[in-house]
Amino acid sequence: MLLSDATLETGSNVDFREIPLNQISPNPNQPRLDFSEERIRELESSIKKDGLLQPILVRPLGDGYEIVAGERRWQACKRLEKESIPAKILILDDVESQQIALVENLQRDNLNPIEEARGYRRLVDLSGCKQKDLAEAVSKSPVFISNAMRLLDLPEEVQDMMVDGALSAGHGRAILALAEDETRIKLAKKVIEESLTVRETENIARLYSSQGLERVKRAPSPRSFGIAARKLRKLLKTGVRVKSVRGKNKIEIEFSDETDLERILAAIEDKEILSNQEEAQGQREGFVARQL
């Protein structure tokens, strides 16, 4: 049975204490598969400066404890060589542990669409609940849960593109309109290479059903657009598309909320500062060379 929102909030079966780090192990069913190295470093700096502001959640397992939520906080404390960490101890079965881990990740830091979908699928498999009950437990609509889990019907290669941030959930749903995995992969690659929007992807998927993907004509974007998009995705750690729309070249940068937007702006500003410093250094070296 899935936990109710009330149980999740009140934590009526919660104990609180400091636990030695070496008694805690990570959750093998953690919904988040991709732990950003940058985010862990930021958290490490924050804990070093202000301490750990929120305890992690664990459950008893064997002679120690298993993390339910807060693995990044645990990793950051290990890097700081702390001996123990404040933790809330919950008595949970596998289903309850998975549900809390999923909800905590969704609320704290958005999972990518595939991580989210796999989390929902795992909950359904573990609990045997219906999607309607799952939707109520995680405060989502049944349609949202259904659409999310449908992304797992995509080929693994396309799912990997979504995990990397090259494709959005909207792109994934549009690609699902195609029946065969081979054509789904071809369209996914076309979306990335040509920086197609979700609407453009939907239109091409509809056209393919009667014409075939190879016959769908669209002026290809310069190779430099794809290279720039990949570099920006790596720099900003989010989805980025470089495209041309009605004769105007555009860069689209995805962000989840205001905090994520501030992180992206800081990354851009840091890059500008570094670039300005390199330019100034080059000018100084040129001046010295002329003096010699």
71 flagged as catalytic? yes
* Run of H or E residues at 192: helix 181-194
> How far is 265 from 243, CA to CA, in rounded Å?
21
Q: What are phi and psi of 109, to 5 degrees?
A: -155, 110
**Could you tell me how far CA 219 lies from the centroid of its own chain?**
31
Spot the catalytic one: 37, 42, 44, 71: 71
The answer for 239, left when phi > 0, alpha when psi is -120 to 50, beta otherwise, is: beta
> How far is 224 from 221, CA to CA, in rounded Å?
8
∠ CA(207), CA(112), CA(99), 5° rounding?
125
Tokens linked to 204: 């091409």
Residues carrying an active site annotation: 71
